[in-house]
């Protein structure tokens, strides 16, 4: 309660200081962001798994290891953990906690808090829990596996995993370190504080959650005692603005500093506008085409191959998807360890026709179910046209996001067109879902795996290679392993990566170091400054 | 009077039942909204049970009604908060917008309709006809975006999307949760001006649509009155045209007009969805639409109850006014 009052007091003070002068301009110490934030359903780090929720948590909580907002390529860096050591057999990692760090409540950050936070996420077992449970933790064993001792924290793994794999996973929001004392005061029944944490913050991050009004606004205030130094922006306000054109108008009028969901048209207009600019940052999301192997036509290897030549990669990326996607034909996004730049396919209808003719495929009809988002329907229509040239008929069904997902998880979508975003900053995140499917039967019900959703029976060698890559200690060798898997994938898999998402961010002049998180993490406000 | 209330309750119950059934047969899976794309089947099943979806429909409905009677509207799955809290937040925003919209509609629409009827076929009548026609046929999202572009983007006369500028957010103590009123109560002139500059454009837009309807109805009521015998009598008696129109005819149409205005207010309460989305107005229209798309039935039902009660209440109110204003009706 006290914390809330403080946050309000800061809000009030800085607003009063500025109120008379500024009307069409945001205060100098405040960052105002317009974004679509209606996807937040919970701000509990053990539960939140949506883009906007992660954006908030990434700034209100710290993790044992974190990214440097000014240099994401460096990968994980010490954060609440000062250093770590891997045991000789590779089965355990011991972290030494930094001294003197406090939570927003004023409580010290202890190894015990960190251990409890990880145990809690495993026990709650909400959707993102798998990022931790893949190391062999279960609700029953987690208290023995994750142990705090004085100033150290030890993770006991079930296999000698690659150090980079474990640490990359610990940069995920689900591994946020939570103020145990504070949360314990707000527990309801067996919920481990889940209800309370859905709308409150108990972190040690650079920002304190001042308010969240669903579908409306998120307000953050700077945590002055932040151990890496108080951020320059004393307040960050994220307003929910749905319409790209409304975001653009507000940016041009100076009512906001950052616009995050701009359509290609609006982004283009802003790029040439005065006082504003566009910064393109690659995101981790891959737009891909999944060919359901339950479909007779689509399980024909010739059809799978032909489909790769029926997508007008450059044409699509340079016309209607301009500034939203770039061609990308492997399942690891640029920015990830082992990402592959090679683009073996190009748009070639004649070649596709030849492949189909050689295999004796004469026409056929398939259905695609796409989410009613402009970009997907546009891609579907382009595909429909080129498939028609090759004698294949594509019927397009438009549905809401929830409907498509439902059908897809039930393996009922013949051709799926949509995006997949990585869950954490390690290559295994996509490898384990695109190129891993140990049991392709209906009974396996592995709804979380893309390979399973498309009924793709991943060859045993590829399954094994994917697992082996998680245990390779040498990072370079590990990267090579992922590249090999991707090359093999490009050759035979019926799931075809097409594009990588780019996010055009509109910025007012003077806003520096706005880091949307690139392809590996979520937004980081800590480094942002605003010049005059 | 008792009969009226009974039918009111039955109407609401029917409304809820229909909404409930539609929500359950909708091909949208609310569980997926809760657990997300990545959930395992076990996590999915756990959430399915926790939401009570494994029980028979009728049991779910009866439980829901039982909870509502105890004032518990459940928790929204898309905001994670109690529906009643959400509604307390979003409904005043819509009421404020719809009230100002209706006010604009009445203040312009009624005189316009009266004058159009008095000068039937004249220039004012023609203009009124065109104004109403445009109001009926122009897509509201287009008009809204154009309005924003011109008055906010180019001229800078009004505030942008949202209810207020960020520097005023949370500054005025919440009393009625109507920003215009609250800022007046607080005596914060700056906050009032800011809130007004934000509401005036969307309210004018809604006002335009309601004036199109109100002016047409007023005109036809007036024409009916003006052809009545007592008007001829009044004119023969030598009353001025002004006295005939405003003193006699208008007084007689005020009763049906109340109903028209009440209904128009009701339709603005629930029909401002597009306006709310364009102007990022955090109101109930936006809330219920989002909830519907997420399969968030507690939120949809909560919103339906509020809108339903308003509609039924407004109908009842105009009924009562009818009785008060026109003794013959009872």
Query: From CA A486, how far away is CA B54, in angstroms rounded?
Result: 42
Instruction: Select from A355, A409, A419, A416 the least CA-distant residue to A383.
Output: A416
- Chain B environment of A253 (Cβ under 8 Å): 152-153, 156, 160
Residue-level pLDDT at B11: 85
Other C-beta atoms within 10 Å of A479: how many? 20
From the CB of residue A432, how many other CB atoms can be counted at a distance below 10 Å?
23
Q: Which residues, 6 or more positions from A441, have their beta carbon under 8 angstroms from its beta carbon?
A: none
Residue B327's pLDDT band, with cuts at 50, 70 and 90, is: low
Task: List residues bridging with A78 in a β-sheet.
Answer: A65
pLDDT reported for residue A276: 95
CB B125 within 8 A of CB B224: no
Q: Are A445 and A451 in contact (CB under 8 A)?
A: no
Percentage above 90 pLDDT, chain A? 83
- The pLDDT-based confidence of B91 (bands split at 50, 70, 90) is very high
Look at residue B78 in the predicted model and tell me its pLDDT: 83
- Confirm if A33 and A236 have CB atoms less than 8 A apart: yes
pLDDT at B197: 94
Kindly report, residue by residue over A253-272, the tens digit of the pLDDT.
Answer: 999 999 999 988 899 999 99
Residue-wise DSSP of B269-310:
HHH-HHHHHHTT--SHHHHHHHHHHHT-HHHHHHHHHHHHHH
Tokens of A426: 């390690």
Identify which of B33, B145, B282 has the shortest CB distance to residue A215. Answer: B282
Asked if the Cβ–Cβ distance from B35 to A126 is below 8 Å, we say yes
Instruction: Please list every residue in chain A whose beta carbon sits closer than 8 Å to the beta carbon of residue B198.
Output: none
List beta partners, residue A149. Answer: A152
A461-509, pLDDT tens digit by residue?
999 999 999 999 999 999 999 999 999 999 999 999 999 999 999 999 9
Which candidate, A251, A231, A230, places its Cα nearest to that of A239?
Answer: A251
Q: Quick one: pLDDT band at residue A532, thresholds 50, 70, 90?
A: low
Chain B residues with CB-CB distance to A266 below 8 A: none
- pLDDT of B175-232, one tens digit each? 888 999 999 999 999 999 999 999 999 999 999 989 999 999 999 999 998 888 888 8
Task: Please name which of A275, A83, A296, A64 lies closest in space to residue A172, comparing C-alpha atoms.
Answer: A64
Q: Is the per-residue pLDDT at B322 higher than 80?
A: no
Count of C-beta atoms within a 10 Å radius of residue B316: 16
CB A234 within 8 A of CB A222: yes
Q: Do B280 and A127 touch (CB under 8 A)?
A: no
Report the pLDDT averaged over residues A334-340. 93
pLDDT tens, residue by residue, B237-253:
888 888 888 888 888 88
| Helix (H) or strand (E) run with residue A482 in it | helix A475-492
Q: Supply the pLDDT for residue B180.
A: 92
d(CA A254, CA B194): 16
Cβ contact A351:A307 at 8 Å: no
In the predicted structure, residue A343 carries a pLDDT above the cut 50: yes
* Residue of chain A nearest B151, judged by CA positions: A249
Q: Report d(CA A169, CA A118) in Å as an integer.
A: 12
Contact A154, A94 (CB under 8 A): yes
- Does the pLDDT of residue A377 top 50, yes or no? yes
- The residue in chain B having the minimum alpha-carbon distance to the alpha carbon of residue A53 is B79
H or E stretch including A420? strand A415-420
Q: Which A-chain residues 20-59 have CB contacts (< 8 A) with chain B?
A: 20, 22-24, 26-27, 30, 32, 38, 40-42, 49-50
Find residue A152's DSSP bridge partners. A96, A149
Q: Which helix (H) or strand (E) holds A439?
A: none
pLDDT at B175: 87
In angstroms, the CA A296 to CA A130 distance is 33
- Measured between CB atoms, does A447 come within 8 Å of chain B? yes
Cβ proximity of A54 and A517 under 8 Å: no
Bigger pLDDT: A406 vs A486: A486
Whole-angstrom CA distances from A142 to A62, A442, A504, A522, B38 are 21, 31, 41, 27, 22
* Lowest mean per-residue pLDDT among A28-37, A98-107, A124-133, B158-167: B158-167
Q: Which residue of chain B has the CA closest to A21?
A: B167
- The mean pLDDT value of chain A amounts to 92
Question: Is the per-residue pLDDT at A219 higher than 80?
Answer: yes
CA atoms of A198 and A341, how far apart (whole Å): 40
How far from A95 is each of A112, A156, A166, B45, CA to CA, in Å?
12, 12, 12, 36
List, as ranges, residues 393-422 from A with C-beta within 8 Å of B. Answer: 399-400, 402-403, 405-406, 409
Q: Is A191 on the interface with B (CB under 8 A)?
A: no
Average pLDDT over residues A375-396: 94
């Amino acid at each position: 309660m006290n914390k809330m009052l403080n946050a309000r007091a800061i809000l009030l003070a800085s607003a009063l200081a500025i109120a008379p002068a500024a009307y069409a301009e945001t205060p100098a110490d405040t960052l105002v962001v317009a974004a679509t934030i209606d996807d937040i359903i919970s701000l509990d780090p053990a539960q939140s798994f949506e883009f906007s929720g992660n954006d908030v948590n990434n700034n209100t909580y710290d993790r044992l290891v974190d990214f440097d907002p000014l240099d994401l390529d460096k990968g994980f860096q010490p954060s609440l953990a000062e250093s770590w050591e891997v045991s000789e057999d590779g089965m355990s990692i011991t972290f030494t906690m930094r001294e003197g760090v406090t939570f927003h409540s004023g409580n010290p950050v202890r190894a015990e808090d960190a251990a409890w936070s990880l145990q809690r996420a495993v026990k709650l077992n909400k959707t993102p829990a798998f990022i931790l449970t893949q190391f062999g933790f279960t609700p029953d064993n987690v208290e023995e596996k994750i142990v705090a001792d004085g100033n150290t924290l030890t993770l006991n793994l079930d296999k000698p995993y690659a150090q980079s794999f474990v640490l990359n996973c610990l940069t995920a929001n689900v591994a946020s370190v939570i103020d145990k004392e504070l949360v314990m005061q707000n527990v309801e029944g067996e919920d481990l504080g889940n209800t309370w944490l859905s709308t409150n913050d108990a972190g040690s991050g650079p920002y304190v959650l001042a308010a969240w009004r669903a579908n409306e606004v998120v307000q953050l205030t700077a945590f002055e005692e932040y151990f890496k130094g108080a951020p320059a922006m004393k307040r960050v306000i994220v307003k929910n603005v749905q319409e790209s054109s409304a975001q653009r108008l507000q940016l041009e009028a100076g009512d906001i500093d950052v616009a995050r969901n701009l359509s290609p048209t609006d982004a283009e207009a802003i790029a040439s506008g005065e006082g504003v600019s566009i910064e393109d940052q690659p995101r981790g999301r891959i737009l891909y085409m999944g060919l359901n192997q339950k479909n007779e036509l689509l399980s024909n290897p010739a059809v799978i191959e032909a489909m790769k030549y029926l997508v007008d990669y450059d044409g699509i990326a340079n016309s209607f998807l301009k500034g939203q996607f770039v061609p990308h034909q492997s399942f690891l996004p640029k920015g990830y360890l082992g990402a592959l730049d090679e683009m073996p396919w190009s748009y070639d209808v004649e070649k596709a026709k030849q492949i189909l003719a050689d295999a004796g495929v004469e026409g056929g009809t398939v259905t695609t179910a796409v989410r009613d988002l402009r970009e997907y329907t546009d891609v579907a229509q382009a595909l429909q046209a080129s498939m028609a040239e090759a004698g294949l008929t594509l019927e397009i069904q438009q549905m809401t996001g929830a409907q498509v997902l439902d059908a897809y998880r039930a393996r009922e979508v013949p051709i799926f067109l949509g995006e997949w975003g990585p869950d954490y900053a390690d290559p295994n995140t996509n490898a384990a879902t695109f190129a891993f499917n140990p049991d392709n039967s209906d009974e396996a019900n592995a709804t979380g795996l893309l390979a399973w959703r498309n009924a793709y029976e991943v060859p045993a060698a590829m399954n094994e290679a994917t697992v082996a890559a998680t245990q390779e200690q040498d990072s370079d060798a590990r990267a090579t392993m992922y590249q090999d898997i991707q090359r093999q994938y490009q050759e035979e898999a019926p799931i075809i990566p097409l594009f990588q998402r780019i996010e055009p961010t509109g910025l007012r002049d003077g806003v520096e170091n706005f880091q949307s998180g690139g392809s590996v993490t979520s937004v980081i406000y800590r480094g942002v400054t605003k010049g005059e | 009077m008792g009969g009226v209330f009974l039918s009111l309750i039955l109407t609401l119950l029917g409304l809820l039942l229909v909404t409930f059934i539609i929500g359950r047969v909708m091909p949208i899976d609310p569980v997926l909204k809760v657990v997300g794309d990545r959930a395992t089947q076990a996590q999915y099943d756990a959430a399915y049970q926790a939401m009570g979806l494994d029980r028979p429909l009728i049991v779910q409905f009866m439980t829901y009604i039982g909870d509502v009677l105890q004032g518990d509207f459940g928790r929204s799955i898309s905001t994670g908060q109690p529906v009643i809290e959400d509604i307390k937040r979003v409904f005043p925003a819509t009421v404020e917008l719809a009230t100002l919209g209706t006010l604009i509609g009445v203040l312009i629409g009624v005189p316009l309709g009266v004058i159009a009827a008095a000068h039937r076929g004249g220039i004012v009548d023609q203009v009124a006809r065109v104004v109403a026609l445009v109001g009926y046929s122009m897509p509201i999202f287009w008009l809204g975006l154009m309005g924003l572009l011109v008055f906010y983007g180019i001229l800078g006369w009004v505030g942008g999307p949202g209810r207020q500028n960020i520097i005023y957010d949370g500054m005025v103590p919440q009393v009625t949760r109507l920003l215009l009123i609250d800022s007046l109560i607080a005596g914060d002139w700056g906050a009032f001006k800011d809130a007004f500059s934000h509401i005036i454009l969307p309210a004018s837009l809604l006002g335009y649509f309601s004036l199109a309807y109100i002016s047409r109805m007023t005109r036809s009521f007036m024409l009916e009155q003006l052809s009545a015998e007592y008007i001829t009598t009044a004119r023969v008696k030598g009353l001025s045209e002004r006295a005939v129109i405003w003193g006699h005819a208008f007084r007689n149409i005020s009763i049906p007009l109340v109903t028209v205005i009440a209904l128009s207010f009701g339709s603005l309460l629930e029909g401002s969805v597009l306006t709310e989305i364009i102007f990022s107005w955090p109101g109930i229209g936006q809330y219920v639409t989002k909830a519907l798309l997420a399969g968030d039935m507690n939120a949809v039902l909560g919103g339906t109850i509020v809108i339903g009660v308003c509609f039924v209440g407004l109908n009842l109110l105009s009924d009562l006014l009818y009785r008060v204003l026109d003794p013959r009706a009872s």
